[in-house]
Copies of this chain bind each other. A is one copy, B any other.
Amino acid sequence: MSATSVGSTAGVNRQFKLAARPSGLPKESDFSLVDAKTPAPGEGQVLVKTVYLSVDPYMRGRITGVKTYADPVNIGDVMAGSAVGQVVESRSNELAPGDFVLGYWGWQEYAAVKAAGLPKLDPKLAPVSTALGVLGMPGMTAYFGFLDICQPKPGETVVVSGAAGAVGSLVGQIAKIKGCHVVGIAGADSKIGWLTNELGCDSAFNYKTTTDYSATLKELCPKGIDCYFDNVGGAITDAVFPLMNVFGRMSICGQISQYNLEKIEPGPRILTQVLVKQLKVEGFIITRFQNRWGEGIKQMAQWLREGKLKHREEVVEGFENTVKAFIGMLQGENTGKMLVKA
């Protein structure tokens, strides 16, 4: 053990590797938990011990074997993903043992990573877990994906699907900060209560216990819908289209209802609505805003300090439960941001 290390590396590095391409909803057997050797950091590298792992909807796309906006994770690869770690051994002047960092070393307990450019987190400013949530990718996804693409104006009606998730729960609050009328859609009564009682949504409904989405949306959006932030797609989004107002904007952030389908699902054609309402429907991947990350972090942190923004983390304990957490998140078991404490 190096003189600059803290804690015990124990020599064993547990990893989750992709074992099979999932068909439909991923199963635990699609991943294998293996014991690797804890790597030795090279010159300029640090050895990090994973503290928090992120499980996110986009990961479902990475394991299909199809190149989308990023290369797929291959069978036998350590599953990709963001993580917060603590430096246990350093061969770089930039980081010291004990430092917290944000990185993309995936689902493993230890990693040897290049120190240069690795974002260092200050636990005095915010809990380090927020770097995977409200002050990280999901937070920036909500901030830029909603504000830049939807361009909301005060008084407009905003509908958010997946409204109790890591991203959606922030979008609804940002929409309220901007003076909009906000309607959230989520899949549990407890989530609906959280949205309306704690996060300030004007109304919300549980799509699992609502039969007529269209009638419900019409009632909750008497002036029509100006902005739609979509995390789910499918039947919920079908019901939104006919209620969109002229010059409405749709930010397509996720389509979680479609990710586990083996074949593209048919649905009602939407382009006539796009035409006659002059809608703008735009998809985005958060990387496109990466050069403006600082602006987003600064604003979100300020809203947090001012108490205008709340966030919630659902922490699953134990590295070995990462796959369970991932599958649970895909089924909507989380309220707010789903994390694994390794």
Contacts and interface: CB of A to CB of B under 8 A. Distances in A.
B267 A277 contact: no
B281 A274 contact: yes
Q: Which one of A246, A264, A268, A275 has the highest number of Cβ atoms from chain B below 10 Å of its Cβ? A: A275
A255 B237 contact: no
A272 B246 contact: no
Contacts of A272: 233, 255, 258, 264
Contact of A254 (B252, B258, B275, B279): B275
A234 B271 CA distance: 9
Contact of A274 (B68, B266, B282): B282
Interface string A217-258: 000000000000010011001000000001000001111001
Q: How many copies does the complex hold?
A: 2
Nearest to A66: B276
Contact of A233 (B265, B271, B278, B280): B271
Interface residues of A, number: 36
B271 A255 contact: yes
Contacts of A281: 271, 274, 279-282
Interface string A305-337: 000000000000000000000000000000000
Contact of A264 (B268, B277, B280): B268
Contact of A269 (B68, B234, B277, B282): B234
A208 interface: no
A155 interface: no
A186 to B, nearest CB: 19
Contacts of A44: none
Contact of A271 (B69, B237, B268, B276): B237
A234 B68 CA distance: 24
Interface stretch (A71-79, A165-173, A283-291): A283-291
A282 B246 CA distance: 12
A270 interface: yes
A22 interface: no
28 contacts: A68-B276, A69-B246, A69-B276, A69-B278, A233-B272, A234-B269, A252-B271, A252-B274, A253-B275, A258-B269, A258-B272, A266-B267, A266-B268, A266-B269, A267-B267, A271-B281, A273-B283, A275-B283, A275-B284, A276-B283, A278-B282, A278-B283, A278-B284, A278-B285, A279-B281, A279-B283, A280-B280, A281-B281
